[in-house]
Structures are given as C-alpha cells and as structure tokens.
C-alpha cells in the first residue's frame, strides 16, 4: 500500500480510538459467558442424539446473534487475532438456524398435508437434523477451543443436562372457533393457485439443481445457485404463505375445499427448505468458497464440506423441487375445477402465422395453467396446448390467404385470363406484387426478390402465374400475405387473459419475425 492509498484509507476510517487485545478480552468476558455456557451444553449432548432441543437452539440463536453484533461493532472480522472467533460465532449461528428450521419441519410434519414424493421426507428430515446436530456440536467445541486460546473461556460453566429438556405432550388444541367471514371463494382460490403457478415458473433454479451429481455441487456456485437467489425465492414463498393465512385460513373457503390445506402445506414446506438452503449457501459463499470465502474457516475448516453440500442439494433442493412439482399439479387441478369459460377473438400472428415461436408460446401459456383451451379458425378446432396442432392451422390460414389473394389480383389487374405471352405475363406478375406491397396487402421480407426461373412461363394466365409465384416467394420466406383473419380461443378466462396479452405483443415477434421482449405479466415464458 503506497502513501497516498494509506492516506485515503485513513480518511475513510471512522475516527475511533483503538483498544488493545487485553481490553477487548476483558470486554468480552461477561457478554460471552452465556454463549460459552450454551456451547458447553452443546458439546455435552449425548453422542448420536437424533435432534437438537429447540429451547437450546433458540437460546444459541439469541446469544450468538448478540455476540456477533458486539464483535462486528468493534471490527473483529477485520482483526487478525479475533477474526477466527468471530467466524466461529457466525458459523454456529448459521447452522443453529438450519437446525431450528429442520426441527420445525420435523415437529410440524404430522400436521402438514403433503402429496407423495419419491423420497422419504420424514426420514430424510430426521437424518439431516441428526447430521446438523453433530455440526453444531463440533462448531461449539471449536468455539470453546478458540475462546480458551484467546483467554476468554470460563471454566466449569456447562449447565445441567436437563436445563433445556423439551417435554411436550403430543397433540393440539381443538379447533372450535367459528369460521371467519370470507369474500368470493372462487376468486380467492384461483388467485392463490395462479400465484403458486407463477412462482413455480420462476423456480427453475430448484429443478435445475435437484438432480445435480455430487461432483458438480461446487460448480453450481455462483450460477445458478447463490445466497441472493435463494433468499429472494424463499421470501416469495413466504409471501404466498402469508397471502393464504390472510385470506383463507380459518374461513369457510378453507373448510369447503380440501385441496387448500395441501396448497398451504406445500408452500410452507418449500419456504422452510429454502430457508435451510439459503443459510447453507451463505455459509459456503461467506466462509469456505475459494472465490468469496473469508479465508478464516477455509484455512482450517470445521464443517465437512460434503455434509454442507449434501444437505443443501440432496435434501433441500431435491425435496423443494419435488414438492413444487406436486403443488403445480394440485394448482392446475384447482384452476380446472374453478374454470370460468370465455371466448377471446384475436388477430393471427402477423409473421407467417402459427409457426414455431407463436405456437410454442401459446402452448406454454396453456400448459402453465393446465387447463383445456381450444382455438377455433374458420369452423375448425385446434388444441391450443399442442404446438403441432397449432401448426396445422397454417393450412387453413394459407388456403384463406390464397382465396383472398386471387380476389386482390383480380382487383388490380382487370384482364387476368388474357394470354399476354411470357415476357408480358412476367412483367404483369412483378407489377402486381409491387402494387400489393405498396398497398400493404403483402409484406416483403427481402428486396430485391429472388424470382423463379418460371415467372410468366407457367400454364394459365396472369392470375395463375401470380398466385404460383407469390406462393413460391412465400414458401421461401421472401414475403407474406397480410390478412385480417382472426382466431377465437375458448377456455378459462385466466388463460385467455394471458393469451390476449401475448397477441397484443405480436405473439413474441414483430412483423419481420424478430424476437420482442414480452411484458412482465408473461415473465414465466422467458424461462
């Protein structure tokens, strides 16, 4: 660091007096006592204990949070002597949060109504709680060793074994309150189901990482996995749970529809699993990642890296993804039951009809909601959930365009049946094409046009030659025929609402087939 850099750094530093290590050691002695007592209790837990007592974990979180705040207030993180102590306090707090979430899941599982998944979730939760319990005990032991090394630890302070015993009877109070007043049941239920589906569409992170091979866990950081992304996702699931509790819990709506408690249970379980994943990602990124770690714990790791990654990916990500898939199927079924059938008339995609992009986008909207939507065109019905079926609509569209084209050619060239000779016919065909383009009846994608060798040489008069030449130019993507033809979608009004937005934004492309940005309402289609 050169002189100018040191000067600039000194200016940015707060003007606070420095204290010695002995002063700080004495400062910590009393405030650290409760946390070190708890650390002693954690190390005294019976070997192989299957779970962490929740009262003990609650106290550990309280005391470690207060100690971390005190250490940060005095800049321990940036101090060579005290940074290790601070890192261990933070890691203990981090894994205590994971343990609390696991203990909460284990306690609440009998009350949750969950759809079946491939794995044994209760057994996996008990196993992870056991594993995290060992991690917390190891971190507590390391913290006591570090405190001893720094001269902070007080001897003989572990509380008695039953201080934090959790002896609670199994059961719950009777549910005997009257139902709360509720608004429009159908509107409330479909809103929640739609919110879950929209959130599920934004959760590709879970699906992408749920089956990652253990050898590739680390490669998932920082993309697609990061503490920031997981925290944002967990917040949104927590918000969904809060919406349910505000508008549905304790109402006649909840009593009348048995699917709703299942929806709430899935949102809640995913939220708690994402809490766990967020804390584990934080620990990895903050403390042990070669890219962003703080070197203190990376240099002398206390927590086995394989344990952290297995809990994050093989437990939290896998079960989040599985419960998410179950919740999606549930919500699609809910929306089908509460479907409000309607009709929507919209124009055709302006660029080459229902080719790949428009057809796929329409089908993805229908699949997102899981309902049945049909597309009606000139008396024919097409399945809007099938891109291939929508492709078939182009046969009808092109037949309609050819009929319209013949009418337009007859309008601009009065003597279509006359035999004008090869050169005159070719000139007439070219003149008709340019006149229709000038009038906006056809759109040219390429200029100059690459005309065929048979222009003017085909059997028939000007009409037959013009139709054949334009059909060839259309097939090779050099032009397209504009028409005011419309289609009608028939299905649930929520699906039609999104299809209307898609149609008003050109089915995802402009008049020349270039991709356009879709609005926020269709953000699930961007993934």
- Residue 343: strand pairing partners: 490
Q: What number of other Cβ atoms are within 10 A of residue 243's Cβ?
A: 17
Whole-angstrom CA distances from 385 to 28, 247, 361, 405, 464 are 65, 32, 10, 31, 37
Q: What residue numbers bound the domain in which 234 lies?
A: 183-338
Q: pTM for the full model?
A: 0.80
Q: Which positions ≥6 away from 464 have C-beta within 8 Å?
A: 458
Q: Tell me the per-residue pLDDT of 317-372, one tens digit each, with 9 for 90 and over.
A: 999 999 999 999 999 999 999 888 999 999 999 888 899 999 999 999 999 999 89
Residue 14: what pLDDT?
Answer: 59
Q: Give yes or no for a contact between 314 and 306, defined as CB atoms under 8 angstroms apart.
A: no
The reply to whether 178 falls in a domain is: no
Q: How many angstroms separate the CA atoms of 247 and 265, rounded? A: 15
Higher pLDDT, 509 or 181: 509
- The last residue of one of the domains, among 338, 360, 380, is 338
Q: What number of other Cβ atoms are within 10 A of residue 434's Cβ?
A: 14
Pair (498, 416) in one structural domain: yes
Pair (148, 188) in one structural domain: no
The reply to whether 169 falls in a domain is: no
Pair (454, 501) in one structural domain: yes
Pair (269, 406) in one structural domain: no
Residue 287: what pLDDT?
Answer: 87
* Tokens representing residue 362 in the block: 């329409």
- The last residue of one of the domains, among 298, 321, 338, is 338
* Range picked from 210-214, 359-363, 446-450, 519-523 for highest mean pLDDT: 359-363
Higher pLDDT, 98 or 400: 98
The reply to whether 8 falls in a domain is: no
Pair (238, 224) in one structural domain: yes
Higher pLDDT, 217 or 55: 217
The reply to whether 7 falls in a domain is: no
Q: Supply the angle between the helices 356-369 and 185-201 in degrees, to the nearest 10.
A: 130
Q: Is 446 helix (H, G, I), strand (E, B) or coil?
A: coil
Least confident piece of the model among 161-165, 181-185, 283-287, 419-423: 161-165
Number of folded domains that form the chain: 3
Q: How confident is the model at residue 419 (pLDDT cuts 50, 70, 90)?
A: low
The reply to whether 241 falls in a domain is: yes
Residue 196 pLDDT greater than 90, yes or no: yes
Q: Give yes or no for a contact between 31 and 70, defined as CB atoms under 8 angstroms apart.
A: yes
Pair (105, 235) in one structural domain: no
Pair (367, 397) in one structural domain: yes
Pair (367, 310) in one structural domain: no
Pair (310, 356) in one structural domain: no
Q: How confident is the model at residue 377 (pLDDT cuts 50, 70, 90)?
A: very high
* Tokens representing residue 344 in the block: 């929507």
- The last residue of one of the domains, among 318, 338, 358, is 338
Q: How many angstroms separate the CA atoms of 449 and 474, rounded? A: 11
Burial class (CB in 10 A: 0-12, 13-18, 19+), 175: exposed
Pair (324, 354) in one structural domain: no
Q: How many angstroms separate the CA atoms of 259 and 189, rounded? A: 10
The reply to whether 188 falls in a domain is: yes
Q: How many angstroms separate the CA atoms of 330 and 324, rounded? A: 10
Residue 382: what pLDDT?
Answer: 96
The reply to whether 334 falls in a domain is: yes
Q: Give yes or no for a contact between 511 and 350, defined as CB atoms under 8 angstroms apart.
A: yes
Q: Which positions ≥6 away from 448 have C-beta within 8 Å?
A: none
Find the mean pLDDT for residues 236-257.
Answer: 90
The reply to whether 198 falls in a domain is: yes
Residue 476: what pLDDT?
Answer: 84
Pair (480, 359) in one structural domain: yes
Residue 165: what pLDDT?
Answer: 63
Pair (513, 427) in one structural domain: yes
């Amino acid at each position: 660091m050169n002189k100018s850099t040191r000067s600039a750094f000194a200016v940015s530093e707060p003007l606070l007096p420095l204290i010695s290590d002995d002063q700080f050691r004495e400062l910590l002695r009393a405030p650290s006592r409760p946390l070190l007592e708890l650390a002693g209790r954690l190390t005294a837990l019976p070997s192989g204990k299957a779970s962490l007592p929740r009262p003990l974990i609650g106290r550990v979180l309280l005391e470690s949070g207060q100690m971390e705040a005190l250490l940060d207030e005095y800049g321990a993180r940036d101090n060579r002597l005290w940074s290790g102590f601070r890192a261990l306090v933070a890691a203990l707090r981090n894994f205590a949060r994971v343990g609390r979430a696991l203990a909460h899941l284990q306690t609440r599982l009998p009350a949750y109504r969950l759809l079946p998944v491939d794995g044994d979730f209760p057994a996996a939760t008990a196993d992870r709680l056991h594993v995290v319990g060992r991690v917390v005990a190891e971190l507590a032991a390391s913290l006591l060793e570090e405190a001893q090394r720094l001269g902070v630890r007080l001897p003989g302070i572990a509380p008695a074994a039953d201080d934090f015993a959790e002896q609670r009877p199994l059961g719950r109070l009777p549910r005997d309150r009257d139902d709360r007043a509720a608004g429009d049941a159908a509107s409330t239920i479909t809103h929640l189901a739609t919110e879950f589906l929209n959130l599920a569409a934004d959760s590709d992170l879970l699906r992408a990482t749920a089956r990652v091979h253990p050898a590739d866990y680390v490669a998932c950081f920082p993309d697609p996995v990061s503490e920031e992304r997981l925290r944002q996702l967990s917040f949104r699931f927590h918000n969904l749970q809060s919406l349910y509790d505000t508008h549905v819990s304790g109402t006649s709506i909840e009593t009348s529809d048995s699917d709703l408690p299942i929806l709430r249970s899935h949102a809640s379980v995913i939220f708690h699993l994402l809490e766990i994943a967020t804390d584990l990602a934080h620990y990895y990124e903050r403390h042990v990642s070669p890219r962003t770690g703080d070197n203190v714990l990376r240099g002398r790791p206390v927590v086995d890296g394989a344990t952290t990654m297995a809990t994050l990916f093989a437990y939290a990500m896998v079960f989040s993804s599985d419960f998410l898939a179950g919740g999606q199927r549930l919500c699609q079924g809910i929306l089908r039951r509460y479907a409000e059938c309607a009709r929507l008339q919209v124009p055709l995609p302006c660029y080459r009809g229902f080719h790949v992009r428009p057809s796929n986008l329409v089908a993805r909207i229908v699949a997102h909601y899981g309902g049945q939507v049909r597309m009606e065109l000139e008396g024919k019905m097409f399945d809007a959930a099938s891109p291939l079926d929508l492709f078939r609509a182009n046969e009808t569209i092109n037949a309609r365009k050819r009929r319209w084209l013949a009418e337009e050619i007859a309008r601009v060239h009065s003597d279509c049946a006359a035999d004008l000779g090869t050169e005159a016919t070719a000139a007439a065909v070219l003149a008709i094409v340019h006149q229709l383009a000038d009038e906006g009846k056809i759109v040219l994608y390429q200029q100059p046009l690459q005309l065929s060798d048979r222009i003017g040489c085909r059997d028939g008069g000007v009409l037959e030659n013009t139709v054949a030449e334009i059909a060839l130019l259309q097939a090779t993507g050099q032009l397209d025929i504009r028409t005011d033809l419309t289609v009608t979608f028939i299905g649930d009004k929520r699906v039609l609402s999104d299809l209307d937005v898609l149609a008003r934004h050109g089915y995802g492309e402009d008049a020349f087939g270039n991709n356009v940005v879709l609005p926020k309402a269709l953000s699930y289609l961007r993934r």
